Amino acid sequence: MSEKGSGQKGFYVKQSWEERQWLAQNFESAVTKELLAEERVKLAKLMLRCENFDHFLALKFPTVKRYGSEGAEAMYGFFSTLFDTAPEKDIKQ
């Protein structure tokens, strides 16, 4: 499955057809899931903390070349959810 444009997803890097199908099905179900108010608040707080940390680094180390998290804020929510749910999903690696 591969699509062009906004929200692009590509699953051809996975070797097996079963893995690609699983990713496609789970991606679609995650996209259509409505977030609860408490989940939205949790994600907003996480993004603000990350943004504040980015500003802190800019002030504390003004001469050090660094790469900010501009545009990557959605990853924080993804990884937070991944790490929070990994034990209950029995994810080992």
* 17 and 61 co-located in one domain: no
- Does residue 46 share a domain with residue 19? no
Determine the average pLDDT of the residues in 27-49: 82
Write the DSSP symbol of residue 7.
T
Same domain, 65 and 89: yes
Higher pLDDT, 41 or 12: 41
Highest average pLDDT, of 2-11, 32-41, 67-76, comes from: 32-41
The strand ranges marked E within the chain are none
Question: Are 73 and 47 in contact, with CB atoms under 8 Å apart?
Answer: yes
Q: Are both 8 and 18 inside the same structural domain?
A: yes
Asked whether residue 41 carries a pLDDT value surpassing 90, the answer given is yes
> 41 and 29 in one domain?
no
Same domain membership, residue 78 and residue 50: yes
Residue 92, CA distances (Å) to 72, 86, 87 in order: 25, 8, 8
Q: Domain residues for 29? A: 1-33
Domain count, the chain: 2
- What mean pLDDT is predicted for residues 58-62? 88
Residues in the chain: 93
